[in-house]
A and B are shown apart, each in its own frame.
Chain A
Amino acid sequence: MTARVLVIGEIRDGHLLASSLEAVGAARACAGPSDRLEGLLVGPAAAAASPAFAAAGLASVACVADAALERPTPWAWSRAIVAAATAAGAELVILAGTAAGRDVAGRVAARWEAAAVTGVTAIGRAPGGRLRLSRPVFGGRATQEVEVAAPRAVLAVRPHAFPAPAPTASAAPATELPGGTGPEGDGRILGFEHVEGGAGPDLGDAAVVVSGGRGVRAADNFSLIEELARSLGAAVGASRAVTDAGWRPVSYQVGQTGKSVTPQLYVAVGISGAIQHLVGMVSSRVIVAINSDAQAPIFRVADYGIVGDLFAIVPALTREVRRVRGIA
């Protein structure tokens, strides 16, 4: 039997997000050879972004070129998604687990009367054929296995959990769907501002995160952390000691009351490793700790440790990374 899967792409500033390509990778990971993968893009850049999306392995891409959907509200986007899923006869909708993707997933599931699972890191089938998904819970301290007990499902996949498929030459048609502008009263997004220091990748989405803690001692010294992050193309995070002291804004905080991150590489500098910090980063693939105290609990969750003064180690590490990566 042919299953139909609808993959939702997300466009920011005219560009398709890398995590949307990973969502296609996730769809391919669970699709059989006869299954049909379709895509949906919304907003004025939809048609322009559709070839790159299709090249990840989609049979067709539906575009809703409505200018009102450039930065869609969850209300308007969920309506476009459910309309496209219904038109495609899909039984599975896959989204990237970005902030916007996770925001809309619950709405889509309720509207489409489907099951929903977020934070998905692996997709398989249980012996009876039900979808079976793995997802980190408790800040990555455990993994839950969930089975879908409904005919339809919405999945939001965790960033970096699935590889983006290598692009193929694709002749997938882009089809035009009518606009689904929400009624007055669904709210408006008035504007967007980049966060200070937000030139690098976003914390929640970054493949590499470098975080600084109280060991950095002063706001000005935080530039050491930022230079190391820049050399690695990493996002910058912080412990709560840093945000409480006002050295960096709360948006940098990693942990129980901050962000949960799951990068490929997490570098903790001058961070002791309190449980409230650990719950936000333990499921990172590889953890490096730099701390002057050999007994610091962060070394218990780290893969590589350097005991030493961060003011000596971090500049040397930044130089070495720049040298190896050929950055002048």
Chain B
Amino acid sequence: MEIVVCIKPVPDAETRLRANPAGTALDGEGVKWALAGYDESAVEQALLLKEANPGSRVRAVSFGPAPRTEEVLRAALALGADGATFLEHPAEVVPDPLLAARAVAAHLGRATWDLVLVGKQAGDDEAGLFGGALAELVDAPSFGGVMALTYDASARRFTFRRSVEGGAEAAEVPGRAVLALQQAWNDPRTAKLPNILKSRRATIDKVAWATTAGALGPLGTPTTQSVGFRLPAPRSGAKMIDYRTPEEAAEKLVRLLQEEAKVFP
């Protein structure tokens, strides 16, 4: 089975967010980049499927600016991916997830694959649009919120559960599908040092932006534009409730929620 896993770099969770000088987007200066959380799950899931289905191959694909995009691809190689494709984009901030989906679709259209795994959303823009858009563009079925994914090789079918409001659905889909992962493994594998060293020397297939832009034509223009990036005013700190007994604390809190915060249901 040929598995493609689409990943992207996002600012590390501890990053102190600030706007760029124009105030239109995150300032990338000095940011430490890491593999997006759900994408890490997608890589883990791809490797688990590969291990359960001998003869399978995992290829990591990422669209974005150098050098951070290549770095997350190397991270995927160090974790166990067999190959990596870097779809270069010139801008510091990738303008919209639909453009990313088009770029990856233009590339995947020429490749053979059975499954594309993506994270259900990335921790920076939290759009959650990429997987569905990609699936539509390559004319494949898609599901989001996917957990507990298994492959039935004789029937060429994937079965899984998907998280929906209030519970989970059981579902199945035949091969050549795009699945967006919800599952969070709290203990995904970590790369071993020799593999990290090996990944530094591995070849990454690179597709120049000019090639992608040529394939996309007018669809290579972004459809949205980030025009503002605001940080909330820091909360002024909690109003601490004085009390002598737990009952008094409870009464005071409920009153504040009713009368001051006006959120009491």
Q: Which residues of A contact B (CB under 8 A)?
A: 12, 17, 71, 73-75, 78, 98-100, 102-111, 113-119, 126, 132, 135-139, 141-150, 153, 182, 185-195, 198, 201-202, 204-205, 207-208, 232-234, 240, 243-244, 250-251, 253, 256-258, 260, 264-265, 275-276, 279, 283, 285-289, 294, 299-308, 312-313, 315-317, 319-321, 324-325
Contact = CB atoms under 8 A, between A and B. Distances in A.
Nearest to B230: A143
B133 A306 contact: no
B170 A243 contact: no
Contact of A193 (B37, B131, B167, B249): B167
A103 B144 contact: yes
Contact of B136 (A111, A300, A304, A306): A111
Given A109-B129, A144-B125, A264 B263 contact: yes
B249 A313 contact: yes
A265 B263 contact: yes
A31 B108 CA distance: 39
A291 B237 CA distance: 15
A198 B166 contact: yes
A244 B132 contact: no
B98 A288 contact: no
Contact of A265 (B142, B221, B245, B257): B257
Contacts of A324: 254, 258, 264
Nearest to A205: B165
Contact of B101 (A110, A139, A256, A286): A110
Contact of A306 (B132, B166, B241): B241
Contact of A99 (B96, B133, B165): B165
Interface string B81-97: 00000000000000011
A302 B238 contact: yes
B89 to A, nearest CB: 17
A78 B249 CA distance: 51
A287 B137 CA distance: 42
Nearest to B223: A115
**From B127, B186, B227, B264, residue with most partner A Cβ within 10 Å:** B127
Given A187-B177, A208-B265, A106 B101 contact: yes
A240 B186 contact: yes
A138 B124 contact: yes
A304 B170 contact: no
Contacts of A240: 186
B167 A195 contact: yes
Nearest to A115: B223
Given A188-B171, A265-B257, A253 B237 contact: no
B241 A12 contact: no
14 contacts: A102-B128, A106-B130, A138-B123, A142-B229, A187-B141, A194-B166, A250-B183, A257-B184, A300-B235, A306-B243, A307-B240, A319-B250, A320-B250, A320-B251
Contact of B164 (A99, A118, A207, A289): A99
B166 A143 contact: no
Instruction: Decide if the interface of chain B is mainly helix, strand, loop or mixed.
Output: mixed
B35 to A, nearest CB: 12
A308 B225 CA distance: 47
B235 A316 contact: no
A136 B17 CA distance: 13
A34 to B, nearest CB: 26
Interface in B228-265: 228-232, 235, 237-241, 243, 245-247, 249-251, 253-254, 256-258, 261, 263-265
Nearest to A304: B239
Contacts of A275: 13-14
Given A149-B222, A194-B167, 19 more contacts: A74-B141, A75-B135, A78-B132, A104-B132, A107-B142, A109-B98, A119-B127, A141-B231, A144-B226, A190-B171, A194-B166, A204-B165, A251-B168, A256-B123, A299-B240, A304-B261, A312-B246, A316-B250, A319-B247
Contacts of A141: 17, 231-232
A190 B157 CA distance: 14
B143 interface: yes
A257 B37 contact: yes
Contact of B171 (A136, A189, A257, A294): A189
Given A74-B142, A106-B129, A12 B235 contact: no
B167 A107 contact: no
Contacts of B265: 207-208, 232-234, 264-265, 325
B173 A285 contact: no
B174 interface: yes
Nearest to A233: B265
Contacts of B184: 250, 253, 257-258
A304 B253 contact: yes
B224 interface: yes
With most chain A CB atoms within 10 A of its CB, the pick from B101, B143, B245, B256 is B143
B238 A305 contact: yes
A304 B256 contact: yes
Nearest to A313: B246
A108 B264 CA distance: 38
A319 B241 CA distance: 18
A69 to B, nearest CB: 14
A303 to B, nearest CB: 6
A185 B174 contact: yes
